[in-house]
Amino acid sequence: RWWNQAFEAAGFQDAYRVEMMPEGADPMDVRYNVIQWVHRSTRGWSYGSSVRDPRTGEIIKGHVSLGSLRVRQDYMIAEAILAPYMAGQEVPEEMLEFALARLRQLSAHEVGHTLGLSHNYIASTNNRASVMDYPHPYIQLKEDGTFDLSEAYDVNIGEWDKVAITFGYAEYPEGTDEKAAGEQVLLDALADGIRFISDQDARPQGGAHAYAHLWDSGESPTAELNRVMEVRQKALEQFGQNNIPEGTPLAMMEQTLVPLYLFHRYQVEAAVKLLGGFDYNYAVRGDGQSALTPVSAADQQAALEALLATLKPEHLAVPESILDQLPPMPLAFGRNRESFKGRTSVMFDPLVAAENGATATLSLMLHPARANRLVLQNSRNGNALGLDDVLGDLLITTWKKTPQPGYMGEVQRTVNMVTLRHIMNLSLDKGASDQSRAMAYASLMQLMDWLKTQTEVGNRAWAAHYQYALLMMKQWMAEPEPFTFPKPADVPPGSPIGSHDHSACGMW
Ligand SMILES: [Zn+2]
C-alpha cells in the first residue's frame, strides 16, 4: 500500500488500493492486477512483470510473484547475527518483524516494476530515496554489544518513487504542455538532490559509479564497509550454539554461519567501486547536472585501506570456538549449494571459507576494467591512486606481513595464495590492458625478489609456503599462457538463486 503515497503525491486520492483477491477469480485474468505468493525449490528471485499493449506500451495488467523462501533467508540472517536461542528464553519477536519488513519492501519493489519503474541503485546512498534499490539489512551494533534491527529496512515509499509516478501518471489540465510539465518534474527532483542510476552502471563488477550499488547501505561506501565489518566481527565472536534452535543438529551451525561470514561481501563491492571510480549522472545538455567527477585521492585511499582490512587473518579466521563445536552433518542432512565447499571431506573447512572471503575482495579489487582505469587515472593525475599503489599495498598487507604462528598463520598463507593467484590472473587477463598486465608482472617480479631474501624463516610451514610460491612463479614465467591455476573454491550464492537474464525479463 506504500504506492498510495506516491499516487497521492501525483495528485490522486485513494486511487491505489490493495485488496484480497475476490473468491473464484483467476490470477491469470487480465482484469486483475495480482500479487502472488509462490513456493519454489529454493530462494529464487521475485518478479514484477506486466502485460502491455504492444501498440502503445500501455500497462494493462501487473503481476507480481513473490518467492516464499526469501523470507527464510532473512530469518536466517537474523539468527546468524543475533544468536537468539538462549536456553530458557523466548525467541525475540524482532526476528519475525525483521523478515516481514524485508517482505514489505520486496512487495513494494516488485509492484514498482509492474507500474513501469526501473531499478534506482543510487537510492541507498541517497537517503533511501527509492524502494527500487536492492536493500541490505541495516543492522546496528549498540554500545552494550547487542544489535538493533529496527532500521533494517525502509518503511515507506521513497522520494524518487513519488517523482517517477508523478512523471509517468500525473494528469494535467486541458491545454498543458505535458512534455514540458514532465520535464519540470524531473528538473525539480534534480534540484532537490534526488538522483537516478540504474542497472547498466550498478550491476557490472567492473563498474565505475562510486554511489550506485546493489545490496548496500549508507552514504559513504567506505564508512559503511568499516561499520559492517564491526557488526560481522561482533556476531562472529559470539557465534555458537545459541545461533540454532534447541533440537537442531549442531552441524547446521555451518549453514547459519554462511550469511554471517559473507555479510560484508556486497559492501565490499560498493567500496571497491571507489577505486578508479567516478560520481556521474545521466546528464543531458542543458539540464544543469554535473557530468562526472573522479573520486578524490583521499577517498580512494580510504576505500583501499578498508578493503585491505577485509583480508586480515583476524577477520577471515573462523573462530576456533566455532570449529570446536562443529561435527560433520548427521544422516539425512547434507551440504548443498548454499554451503561452503571444502577440501577436508566431511569436516568443515575454515580455510576454504577464508579463501572465499579473500576472493570476494580480490576478484573485485583486481578486476581488469578497474585495473585499466587505475592505470589511466594515475597517468592523468600523478597524485591519484595507481594500479602499482594498489598492488604494492596489497603485497604489504599480505605476503610481506609478519608471519604468524599456528592457525592464524595458516589463514594468512591461504590469503597469500589467493592474492598471488589473482595477481597472476591479472597478468594474463585478456580484458586487462598491456600496461595493467605489465604492472601485475612487475609486482610479481618484485615479490619473487623479496621471497628469495626470506631465507632465515625459522618456521617450516612458512619456509615451505615461500618455496612453493617461488616454484609456482617459475612455472608461470616459463610458460605463462597455458599455465592453469588451481580453481579457487566457489563462493556460496548471496543474491537470490536462479537466472536473472534481464534481456528476457527486464525486471526482478
Ligand atoms: Zn527489481
CA–centroid distance, 50 to ligand 1, in Å, is 13
CA–centroid distance, 499 to ligand 1, in Å, is 13
CA–centroid distance, 508 to ligand 1, in Å, is 4
CA–centroid distance, 502 to ligand 1, in Å, is 10
CA–centroid distance, 213 to ligand 1, in Å, is 13
CA–centroid distance, 138 to ligand 1, in Å, is 19
CA–centroid distance, 108 to ligand 1, in Å, is 10
CA–centroid distance, 26 to ligand 1, in Å, is 25
The answer to whether residue 297 scores a pLDDT higher than 50 is yes
CA–centroid distance, 261 to ligand 1, in Å, is 26
CA–centroid distance, 215 to ligand 1, in Å, is 12
CA–centroid distance, 113 to ligand 1, in Å, is 7
Each residue of 391-407: pLDDT tens digit? 999 999 999 999 999 99
CA–centroid distance, 134 to ligand 1, in Å, is 7
At residue 502 the predicted structure's pLDDT band, cuts being 50, 70 and 90, is very low
- Could you give the dihedral angle defined by the CA atoms of residues 270, 495, 229 and 84, in that order, rounded to the nearest 10 degrees? 150
Each residue of 339-394: pLDDT tens digit? 999 999 999 999 999 999 999 999 999 999 999 999 999 999 999 999 999 999 99
CA–centroid distance, 137 to ligand 1, in Å, is 17
Q: Rounded mean pLDDT of 92-103?
A: 92
* ipTM for the assembly: 0.99
CA–centroid distance, 506 to ligand 1, in Å, is 9
Give the per-residue pLDDT at 499.
62
Cα gap 347→24, rounded to integer Å: 53
CA–centroid distance, 361 to ligand 1, in Å, is 25
Give the per-residue pLDDT at 42.
85
CA–centroid distance, 212 to ligand 1, in Å, is 14
For 264-295, b/e burial (b = at least 16 CB within 10 A) is: bbbbbbbbbbbbbbbbbbeeeeeeeeeeeebb
What is the secondary structure of 113-165 as a DSSP string? HHTTPPP-TTGGGTTS--TTSPB----EE-TTS-EE-TTSS--S--HHHHHHH
Q: Rounded mean pLDDT of 212-236?
A: 97
CA–centroid distance, 109 to ligand 1, in Å, is 6
CA–centroid distance, 259 to ligand 1, in Å, is 21
CA–centroid distance, 110 to ligand 1, in Å, is 6
> What is the chain's percent helix, strand, coil content, to nearest 5?
45, 5, 45
Give the per-residue pLDDT at 374.
98
Say whether 250 sits in a helix, a strand or coil: helix
Query: Which of 169-183, 382-396, 452-466 has the least mean pLDDT?
Result: 452-466
CA–centroid distance, 160 to ligand 1, in Å, is 15
Each residue of 156-166: pLDDT tens digit? 999 999 999 99
CA–centroid distance, 221 to ligand 1, in Å, is 21
Give the per-residue pLDDT at 486.
57
297 CB-contact burial (10 Å; exposed 0-12 / middle 13-18 / buried 19+): middle
The answer to whether residue 505 scores a pLDDT higher than 70 is no
